[in-house]
């Protein structure tokens, strides 16, 4: 952990610590004379920022484009994909806490709980989230007062944080009731099979047989367990893998073939339905340039 206030050029106060794979940072400043911050370094991570007090005014650029001008109330959050370049000009006092989370950590968490498809987070600017604010307030004593970090405490904080973020902002489904859902052994067996065969043709009959269920009961239980049909699950999984490959040098046609789509137009149609934009647009917005990659 560290706190600093450099002399000379105005800078915000900063406290930072590591909790598992997550970096937690508090930034605050009580004046309105900060110069514009330098552009952020691109990274395979997301930053979840919550406002600890009302924040009156700032300007925010994404990939050199001004996308927001204004303020946020206490408890407002932002989820920024650090694969993009961000630049902020704080124009009023502020106090915020941010969780920097590697995307690999998010994917590993989802795979461990049987939700291996991940297409990113979707959070409108200024969304108020009392859960994230509460988690931020829970870790503040460890940051500011230098309380000794408790490993179990931060493991639980990480678990709650990732569960809430993926459920609320990444369309992951966690059933609140176990009535009419797949048993844990069935869920594990069918997900292992679907993940291994996601780019091939998988029949409902095969999946139902793996779980020793009728096709109709399996269909209902799968949807109750995952909040989507088996077909939709497979398509979302393919799209999540296509997103990974879109960050590489493969052509969209090659990605379509690698991810089990009939052709490029099939990938584009499904990708646009699930991600909200064609794969070419998504690639332009998210692909790292060679000069942006960290050595």
d(C-alpha 11, C-alpha 4), whole Å: 9
Whether residues 55 and 130 share a domain: the answer is yes
CATH of the domain at 81: 2.60.120.10
How do residues 139-178 score in pLDDT, each as one tens digit?
Answer: 998 887 766 667 778 888 898 999 999 999 988 877 766 6
Whether residues 142 and 254 share a domain: the answer is no
Number of domain units in the chain: 2
d(C-alpha 61, C-alpha 87), whole Å: 5
d(C-alpha 165, C-alpha 177), whole Å: 20
- Per-residue confidence (pLDDT) for residue 2, from 0 to 100: 44
- Per-residue confidence (pLDDT) for residue 244, from 0 to 100: 87
d(C-alpha 245, C-alpha 285), whole Å: 14
Whether residues 131 and 190 share a domain: the answer is no
- Per-residue confidence (pLDDT) for residue 1, from 0 to 100: 41
- Per-residue confidence (pLDDT) for residue 76, from 0 to 100: 97
Q: Quick one: tokens of 141?
A: 């004593």
- Per-residue confidence (pLDDT) for residue 56, from 0 to 100: 94
Q: Residue 237 phi/psi, 5° resolution? A: -65, -45
Residue 45 within any structural domain of the chain? yes
Question: Which domain covers residue 142, as residue numbers?
Answer: 2-169
Number of Cα atoms under 13 Å in the Cβ half of residue 231? 4
Residue 103 zone, left/alpha/beta (φ > 0; ψ -120 to 50; rest): alpha
Residue 227 zone, left/alpha/beta (φ > 0; ψ -120 to 50; rest): left
| pLDDT band at residue 287 under the 50/70/90 scheme | low
Whether residues 18 and 53 share a domain: the answer is yes
Number of Cα atoms under 13 Å in the Cβ half of residue 204? 15
- Per-residue confidence (pLDDT) for residue 294, from 0 to 100: 40
- Per-residue confidence (pLDDT) for residue 3, from 0 to 100: 44
Whether residues 11 and 149 share a domain: the answer is yes
End-to-end alpha carbon distance in the chain: 25
Report the SS3 class of residue 14: strand
Whether residues 102 and 23 share a domain: the answer is yes
| Average pLDDT rounded to a whole number, residues 1-26 | 77
Whether residues 61 and 159 share a domain: the answer is yes
Nearest to 4 by CA among 33, 37, 29: 29
| pLDDT band at residue 279 under the 50/70/90 scheme | very high
Residue 160 within any structural domain of the chain? yes
Q: Mark which of 128, 146, 169 sits at the end of a domain.
A: 169
Cα angle 208, 211, 213 (rounded to 5 degrees) comes to 55
pTM above 0.75, yes or no: no
Residues 235 and 256 sit within 8 Å (Cβ to Cβ): no
CATH of the domain at 191: 1.10.10.60
Q: Between residues 150 and 55, which one has the greater pLDDT?
A: 55
Whether pLDDT at 293 is above 50: no
How do residues 94-137 score in pLDDT, each as one tens digit?
Answer: 999 999 999 999 988 888 777 777 878 989 888 999 999 999 99
- Per-residue confidence (pLDDT) for residue 193, from 0 to 100: 92
CA distances from 107 to 65, 83, 138, 167, 288 (A): 29, 15, 25, 13, 19
Whether residues 77 and 199 share a domain: the answer is no
Q: Mark which of 169, 193, 210 sits at the end of a domain.
A: 169
**Tokens 């991940």 identify what position?**
118
Alpha helices in the chain (DSSP H): 103-112, 130-144, 151-169, 184-196, 204-210, 215-226, 230-246, 252-258, 264-275, 279-286
Q: Are strands 13-19 and 2-4 parallel, antiparallel or unpaired?
A: antiparallel
- Per-residue confidence (pLDDT) for residue 206, from 0 to 100: 92
Whether residues 198 and 260 share a domain: the answer is yes
Whether pLDDT at 291 is above 50: no
- Per-residue confidence (pLDDT) for residue 147, from 0 to 100: 62
Give, for 86, the enclosing helix (H) or strand (E).
Answer: strand 86-90
Residues 235 and 274 sit within 8 Å (Cβ to Cβ): yes
Residue 178 within any structural domain of the chain? no
d(C-alpha 158, C-alpha 176), whole Å: 20
Whether pLDDT at 67 is above 60: yes
| pLDDT band at residue 55 under the 50/70/90 scheme | very high
Whether residues 218 and 117 share a domain: the answer is no
Classify residue 57 by burial, with Cβ atoms within 10 Å: 0-12, 13-18, 19+.
Answer: middle
- Per-residue confidence (pLDDT) for residue 272, from 0 to 100: 94
Residues 79 and 129 sit within 8 Å (Cβ to Cβ): no
How do residues 218-264 score in pLDDT, each as one tens digit?
Answer: 999 998 888 889 999 999 899 989 998 998 889 999 999 999 999 99
Average pLDDT taken over every residue of the chain: 87
């Amino acid at each position: 952990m560290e706190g600093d206030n450099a002399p000379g050029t105005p800078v915000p106060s900063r406290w930072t610590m590591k909790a598992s794979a997550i970096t937690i940072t508090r930034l605050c400043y009580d004046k309105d004379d900060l110069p514009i911050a330098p552009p952020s370094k691109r990274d395979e991570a997301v930053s979840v920022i919550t406002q600890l007090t009302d924040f009156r005014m700032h300007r925010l650029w994404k990939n050199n484009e001004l996308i927001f001008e204004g303020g946020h109330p206490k408890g407002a959050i932002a989820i920024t994909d650090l694969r993009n370049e961000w630049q902020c000009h704080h124009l009023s006092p502020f106090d915020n806490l941010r969780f920097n989370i590697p995307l690999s950590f998010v994917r590993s968490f989802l795979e461990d709980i049987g939700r291996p498809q991940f297409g990113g987070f979707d959070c409108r600017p200024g969304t108020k989230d009392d859960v994230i604010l509460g988690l931020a307030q829970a870790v503040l004593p460890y940051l500011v007062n230098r309380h000794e970090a408790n490993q179990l405490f931060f493991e639980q904080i990480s678990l709650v944080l990732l569960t809430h973020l993926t459920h609320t902002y990444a369309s992951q489904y966690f059933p609140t009731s176990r009535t009419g859902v797949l048993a844990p052994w069935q869920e594990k067996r069918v997900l292992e099979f679907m993940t291994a065969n996601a780019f091939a043709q998988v029949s409902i009959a095969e999946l139902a047989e793996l779980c020793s269920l009728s096709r109709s009961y399996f269909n209902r239980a799968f949807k109750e367990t995952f909040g989507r049909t088996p077909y939709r699950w497979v398509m979302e999984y393919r799209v999540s893998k296509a997103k990974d490959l879109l960050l590489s040098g493969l052509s969209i046609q090659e990605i379509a073939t690698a991810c089990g789509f009939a052709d490029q137009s099939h990938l584009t149609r499904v990708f646009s339905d699930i991600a909200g934009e064609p794969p070419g647009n998504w690639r332009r917005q998210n692909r790292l340039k060679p000069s942006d990659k960290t050595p």
